[in-house]
Amino acid sequence: MPTIEQRGDTYRITVSAGYDLQGRQIRKKMTWKPAPGMTKKQIEKELNRQAVMFEEKVATGVYLDGNVKFADFAERWMKEYAETQIRATTLSRYESMLPRINAAFGHLRLDKIQPAHLLAFYQNLAESGIREDTKYNAGERLQALMKSEKITLQALSDKSGISLGTVRSAAHGQNVMKKTADGICAALGVPVKDLFQPVDPEKTLSGTTIHRYHELISSIFNTAVKWQVIFSNPCDRVQPPKKNKPEPKYLDEVQARELLTLLEGEPPQFRIMITVLMFTGLRRAELLGLKWEDVDTDTGLISVKRNLLYLPHKGTFESETKTTMSQRTIKVSPAVCDLFREQKALQAARRLQLGDQWQATGYIFTAWNGAALNPTTLSCAFDTFRQKHGLTGITIHGLRHTNATLQIANGVPLTTVAHRLGHVNATTTTKIYAHAIQSADAAAAQVIDDLLSPAATRR
């Protein structure tokens, strides 16, 4: 039977959870605070209800008390909440972030973590040298050492267990991850510092990345509050780190036309994919998730129903769209419909050529054998294309920004732009493309000035 004790403006509820091996009674406690304005009778009724609920949670093992360490609760949060409620890509990011969080205060009890612990953690994240994705470069040193030791690229690849392409990149002076540098140096028997140098070692984590850590920690603490493990979320008493707000990179009308001209000499499927991205504003994952059943070239309608994503431990897989609003149907031009018809013919010829080797996945854009196309493959191909033609300041996602900016500049209503991009509402579009809206607004003001100014009326 629960016991209730009033402590100031709160009540402590205590229930028995049986006995330990030494025969000592195990007691579990929770604190409940009435909402402001509750009458004495309402408090008594709700207090009894809270006591019954608490006793039931303790009896069924659902209740955890604040003595649990952050790392242990975070593990339970991942299994019982995140794995069923959060998208796979976000879950993967959280899994990569938790080790750093646990190293900072995972050993502390949930009810002992204070805002000061969080602030110290955020300050540490903002320091130089904290990044785990720092690239390393050997310059000409690796190639010179291999020549003197008479070691071939293939031999070094076999000995280090690193792919031949990655070893070749390192030997040609391209940046590689630290894991690659460590593996190559271990195979050669030389210290990493003698062969590789970190690239931009003073580069810090962005404000947006640090804010993501705050969001993850706050989400875990919010669940702990809902599960009545702790009374309040310490993140609520901390000013969250500021996000970076970089301007989206995009091409203007002239640059966009130049890119389309350069694409004419590229492999057909790559040319078609990049052109469709430019003309539709689709996300990369949305484009690769398109199936032939989603496209009607007679009406010019495309239905966006799914994403195609990639995770190292999972491979390429289908996922729901980013938001419910991302599931949409948009109209495309006859020129885009012609591109889809061209792709269909190309795919049909390829299917006949491969015969039984062809995988009938139904995707419009595929790997050589019809299998789902790894999104990273498309991004890498675009990076190679950019480097070949000296195109700077644009990424594959920048094609989406280009599409949106050109729409806004040419007077397309924001609500229409938002729908075509799959944004939740026009407010999201306004925040992302404030620069383009301001430019369009200035152009509109100039149009009115040209029409109505005294000089114009005299012409």
Checking if the pLDDT of 308 tops 70, the result is yes
Strand partners, 307: 319
CA–CA separation, 227 and 221 (whole Å): 10
What is the residue extent of each domain of the chain?
3-60, 70-128+206-237, 135-198, 255-385
* pLDDT over 80 at 351, yes or no: yes
The pLDDT value given to residue 64: 62
For the cut 70, the answer to whether the pLDDT of residue 110 exceeds it is yes
Model pLDDT for residues 419-438, shown as the tens digit of each residue: 999 988 888 788 878 777 77
Of the pLDDT bands very low, low, confident and very high (cuts 50, 70, 90), residue 242 is confident
The mean pLDDT value for 292-316 works out to 92
CA distance 265 to 275: 13
pLDDT category of residue 38 using cuts at 50, 70 and 90:
very high
| Residue 453, pLDDT score | 58
Q: pLDDT tens digits for 364-375?
A: 999 999 999 999
Nearest Cα residue to 228 out of 111, 117, 102: 111
Per-residue pLDDT band for 305 (boundaries 50, 70, 90) equals: very high
Q: What architecture (CATH level 2) is domain 70-128+206-237?
A: Orthogonal Bundle (1.10)
> In the prediction, which pLDDT does 186 show?
94
Residue 264 CA to residue 266 CA, distance in Å, equals: 6
**Cα(378)–Cα(196) distance, rounded to whole angstroms?**
29
Residue 404 pLDDT greater than 80, yes or no: yes
Phi, psi (rounded to 5 degrees) for 216: -65, -50
Of 59 and 105, the one with more pLDDT: 105
Q: For the beta carbon of residue 93, count every other beta carbon within 10 angstroms.
A: 15
Please say if the pLDDT value at position 458 is more than 80.
no
Burial class (CB in 10 A: 0-12, 13-18, 19+), 309: buried
Q: What pLDDT, in 10s, does the model give residues 185-236?
A: 999 999 998 999 888 777 788 889 999 999 999 999 999 988 878 888 999 9
**How far is the C-alpha of 393 from the C-alpha of 283, rounded, in Å?**
18
Domain spanning 135-198: which CATH class is it, in words? mainly alpha
- Residue 266: what pLDDT? 95
Residue 11 confidence (pLDDT) above 60: yes
State the pLDDT at residue 454. 58
Fold (CATH) for 255-385: hpI Integrase; Chain A (1.10.443)
pLDDT per position as a tens digit, 250-297: 888 899 999 999 999 999 999 999 999 999 999 999 999 999 999 999
CB 233 within 8 A of CB 225: yes
Q: Retrieve residue 424's tokens.
A: 């939740």
Q: Do residues 94 and 86 touch, judged by C-beta distance below 8 A? A: yes
Give the pLDDT score at 459. Answer: 53
Distances (CA, A) of 251 to 178, 254, 263, 268, 325: 34, 8, 15, 22, 26
Judge if 70-128+206-237 and 135-198 fold alike in CATH terms. Answer: no
Tell me: pLDDT of 349 over 90. Answer: yes
Average pLDDT, rounded, for the chain: 88
Most confidently modeled range among 91-105, 231-245, 425-439? 91-105
